Amino acid sequence: MIYFIEDAINGILMGSIYGLTALGLTIIFGVLKVVNFAHGSLLMVGMYVAFWTVSLTGLHPYLSLIFVIPVMYLFGYYLQDIVIKPIFKAEKDVREPLTVIIITTGVWYILDNLTLLLFGPQYRFIPDNPLKGKMIEIGEIFISVPKLWGFTTAIVTAFGVYYFFQYTRMGRAIRATSLDRDAASLSGINQYKIYNMTFGIGTAVAGIAAVTLVPFYNIFPTVGVLFDIKGFIIVVLGGLGSMPGAIIGGIIIGLIESIGPRFMTATWTEGIVYGLFLLVLFVKPSGLFGVKYDW
């Protein structure tokens, strides 16, 4: 029973980090109405930015957020402005331009291969990591400190993003654009600037997720693929455009991956995850927390 509780706790903690990686993806979809296939690669870039920030400055891994967040925001902002915005302008009458999917797939391959070219295929990890192997012992239960920090960061980030979108002027402008970009433009909102900012926010959230991962996860050029796949499963499970759904969907996946191996092989556990993904697509395509409107 103790081991079951320990697995459940660690599944919730890791699942919240999965949810945080999916949160940026669902933010971008909620406003731009496109699936960003480069999201995992943006997470990978964030991990490298965090790694080099800590390596060069000696900062605590979580203090690297003060550098990672603005860098990733600007990276996402100008990626949208330079690469993706021309597609929106060319297909301005299309609600969900499919060409953007092709563009983001190309960005995915470019970022992964450029990183491989620059830094090589070697696995990297935070030097002199103060969180490495740290555990909290509660009776016979051991809880990973880095994952506990990741859980806290995920919850705080989710509430912060929710507050921003619900209670700030800019957040309301973003929600208005997500509902009807033409009506928002007629109201004086610059939809393309909103798209740039939203992509920047989604990328910054991916950067926050990256910082929560680097204390206990190896960094390599294709690491984003692993979280990209889970991110899409979580977004579909929780509901496209649903921020609470991203976190809760991540926790569900984390629990399955953590508790499942107690009763079956890891292969079957992965099978359950993909089976749940297909079941939701067939039974409730809008996801567990999907609603008629995106926000």
Domain residue spans of the chain: 2-223
Confidence of residue 293 (pLDDT cuts 50, 70, 90): very low
Q: For 198-237, write each residue's pLDDT tens digit.
A: 999 999 999 999 999 999 999 999 999 888 888 888 988 8
129-169 pLDDT, tens digit per residue, is 887 778 888 877 888 899 999 999 999 999 999 999 989 99
| H runs (alpha helix) in the chain | 2-32, 39-57, 65-79, 85-90, 99-119, 145-167, 169-179, 181-186, 191-213, 223-238, 243-259, 266-283
pLDDT of residue 22: 93
Structure confidence at residue 220 (pLDDT): 94
Sign of the torsion angle spanned by Cα atoms 44, 170, 101, 289:
positive
Q: How far apart are the C-alpha atoms of 216 and 135, rounded to whole Å?
A: 12
Q: What is the pLDDT of residue 93?
A: 67
d(CA 152, CA 146): 10
Q: What does the mean pLDDT of the chain come to?
A: 88
- Say if residue 36's pLDDT is above 50: yes
CA angle centred on 278, ends 275 and 281, rounded to 5°: 150
CB 174 within 8 A of CB 27: no
Q: In whole angstroms, what is the distance from residue 190 CA to residue 34 CA?
A: 18
At 95, the pLDDT band (50, 70, 90 cuts) reads: low
Global pTM reads: 0.91
Confidence of residue 96 (pLDDT cuts 50, 70, 90): low
User: Which pair of tokens denotes residue 122?
Assistant: 């070697």
